[in-house]
Structure 1
Amino acid sequence: MFRTMILTAVLAAGVTMSACSGGDSGPAELAGDWTLNTDESGLTYITIKLDDIAEINTFRDISGTVTSEGNASIIINLNSVDTANEIRDPRMKQYLFETEKYPVAKADATLDMSAFESLKTGDRHTELLNLQLDLHGVKAQMDYYVSVTRLGPNKVLVENKAPLILDARDFGMDAGLAKLQELAGLDSITPVVPITVSLVFERLGK
């Protein structure tokens, strides 16, 4: 039931998007900052309990920006976790994420903006990003592939090339998982989760 990991994927996506700007059908221009369109974006992850019961989860409040210099940052409000279960949601916040101590998760990355200069509307580019993650008080780095598609002169779509796999134990969430398992009366909760993202960024002031 490890939802926080989704943030990582989102960050990766946000970072890449900033690089895609420019004319409607011509090469992308690099000027301008980008912001996440939350209405058109989505971040989901799948949790597994009792070995073979899968459940889809998400976060309702994520934000992100990418500057014209290629500095990207994404923030996930962990209190916005949505497991489609009114009893489980507050347990996730209290015991797994410990939102009183760690209300948000954050990821940062830096892009080489010149790599996206030639993108035209409809073009797609795959990029390997190095993400700096800050989750549950633990900072980590990881490499992550994302695909960036230019949707228009001031709009890009970022998706993960393959699901991002994260392990809650790597972020000190073992005790929280054990507590959730106890409260739910389950024999097992898988600590490893796949994460998928579909993020739309728009250039500001255009």
Structure 2
Amino acid sequence: MAPEIDLRGVRVLPGHLDADAQVRMLADLRAVARAAPFVRPVTRRGPMSVRTTSAGRLGWVTDRRGYRYEARHPETGAPWPPIPESVLAVWRAVSGVEVDPDSCLVNLYREGAKMGMHQDRDEGDFGYPVVSISLGDEALFRVGSVERGGRTASIWLRSGDVAVMGGAARLVHHGIDRVREGSSTLLEGGGRINVTLRVVR
């Protein structure tokens, strides 16, 4: 495992998951998607380029009314499936807190999908970190400041990398500028999955 990287306060843990662990986690996430199918979220600005699903007590959803957490899938009306143990194990290893997450957002990047600069601020207590797991194609991860605008720094996240946003970096703006298509063979048909764990309260 490569040394930890400090990206403007965000802890990046390169290669935290080895190849076998990535395969096992992907299988668990496929089971999540069978129970809670991916949807194309819509915001006030229009459709997002990623597809999303969730696991845990609460799932992150968005529509033209805004961003929020809900206890049920927006299309099926069913409760979200449990967060897989393979995913919880990463949180317990890197988060530094005793409380487990109650929301696991799964973003699927295909066909040129990206994620604009944003803050994770729909949660009730910013004292808990946000943990992000990368699977599949490499992605250019950009991190700014708590305030919008200004200087940023970027790094290519590879399959198996984990990022932890906590402390002073909990509310930094961040995003995915682009995905390097074909850089991984983990996902059938290519693409990238990002798993984001949060304590919502």
**TM-score in terms of structure 1 length:** 0.24
- Which structure would you say has the larger Rg? 1
Bigger strand fraction: 1
Query: TM-score, with normalisation over the residues of structure 2?
Result: 0.24
